[in-house]
Amino acid sequence: MKRFLIFLPLCVAIAIGLAGWWGLNPDRDPGSVPSALIGQPVPVFDLPAIEGIGVSGLSTQDFTDASGPILVNVFASWCVPCRAEHAVLTRMVREDGLVLVGINYKDKPDAAAAWLTELGNPYDRIGSDETGRAGIEWGISGVPETFVIDTNGIVVFRYVGPITSDAALANIRKALAQAGADKP
């Protein structure tokens, strides 16, 4: 018994070490939360456009007949991290040439329009989700959140929080590349 107790600290240390080694896997991102939607088709929803910004609304239809992978970003003008993320998204659209659509979550359309006028609009389409109903369909836990949808309209990746770190950006790019590779 005493012998065992003497080795106990070492055993605990080894267990923690193994967990740590496992946790260092570069593909693992502690910020990513698995979603029940991964591998599922885009949920059914239909959101109106925001008046006066010149892009149309967003609905399930837009994903089923897409020609390439689509990045869906859930944002709101009242969300401070979204402001930080906005710059990153804008640069991604400019440099990578991807298709970015937005869900404007629980936001006043006027406020969102003003926000986009101030910062610029990188989105191809924006659905105004004033009630948060579509947010529930997508199962989001807060803003910002970002999803990658492949050409078949299947959700392949989800990221919670602002995409401001290099690691997050790399993960999104990887998911986009994989989603694009499936193109028939």
Partner 1 sequence: MIPEIGQFALTLALMTAVVQGILPIWGAARNNAVWMRSATSTAFLQCILIAIAFGALMRSFVVSDFTVLNVVENSHSLKPMLFKVAGTWGSHEGSLLLWTLILAAFGAAVALLGQNIPTSLKARTLSVQAWISIGFLSFMLFTSNPFDRIFPAPLDGNDLNPLLQDVGLAMHPPLLYIGYVGFSIVFSFAVAALIEGRVDPAWARWVRPWTLAAWVALTGGIALGSWWAYYELGWGGWWFWDPVENVSFMPWLLGTALLHSAVVTEKRGAFKSWTILLAILTFSLSLLGTFIVRSGLLTSVHAFAVDPERGIYILGLLVVSIGGSLTLYAIRAPKMDPGGLFAPVSREGGLLINNLLLALATATVLFGTLYPLFLEAVTGDKISVGPPFFNASFIPIMLPLVIVMGVGPFLSWKRADLPGVFDRLKWVMAITLIAALVVWYVQTKGPALAVLSMAIAVWLLLATLREWSLRIKLGQVGFGESLDRLRRVPRSSHGMTLAHAGLAVCMFGFIGSSAWKSEEVLFVEPGTQIEIAGFDVTFEGTERVQGPNYVAAVGVLRVSRNGREVTVLRPERRTYPVAQSQTTEAAIRSTPAGDLYASITEPANQDMDGKWTLRILYEPLVGLVWLGSLMLVLGGLTSLTDRRLRVGTPKRKTAVAPLPIVGE
Query: Does residue 10 interact with partner 1 by CB under 8 A?
Result: yes
Closest residue by Cα to residue 71 from 157, 144, 128, 149: 149
Q: Restricting to residues 111-130, name those near partner 1 by CB under 8 A.
A: 111-112, 114-115, 118
**Options 73, 77, 146, 171; binder of partner 1; rule CB under 8 A:** 77
Return the number of the residue (167 or 181) whose C-beta is nearest partner 1.
167
Q: Is 31 helix (H, G, I), strand (E, B) or coil?
A: coil
Residue 71 is classified by DSSP as E
Q: Is 69 helix (H, G, I), strand (E, B) or coil?
A: coil
Per-residue x/- track, 136-175, partner 1 (CB under 8 A):
-----------------------------x-x--------
Return the number of the residue (2 or 67) whose C-beta is nearest partner 1.
2
Residue 149 is inside which H or E element, if any?
Answer: strand 145-149
Q: Restricting to residues 12-51, name those near partner 1 by CB under 8 A.
A: 13-14, 16-17, 19-26, 30-31, 33-34
Task: Give the CA radius of gyration of the chain.
Answer: 20
Count of H-run helices and E-run strands, the chain: 6, 7
Closest residue by Cα to residue 45 from 116, 109, 131: 131
Return the number of the residue (25 or 67) whose C-beta is nearest partner 1.
25
Task: Work out whether strand 145-149 and strand 155-160 pair parallel, antiparallel, or are unpaired.
Answer: antiparallel
Return the number of the residue (85 or 150) whose C-beta is nearest partner 1.
85
Return the number of the residue (63 or 123) whose C-beta is nearest partner 1.
123
Q: Which two tokens stand for residue 90?
A: 């804008």
- Amino acid (one-letter) located at 163: I
Return residues touching partner 1 (CB under 8 A).
2-3, 6-7, 9-10, 13-14, 16-17, 19-26, 30-31, 33-34, 77-78, 80, 84, 87, 107-108, 110-112, 114-115, 118, 165, 167
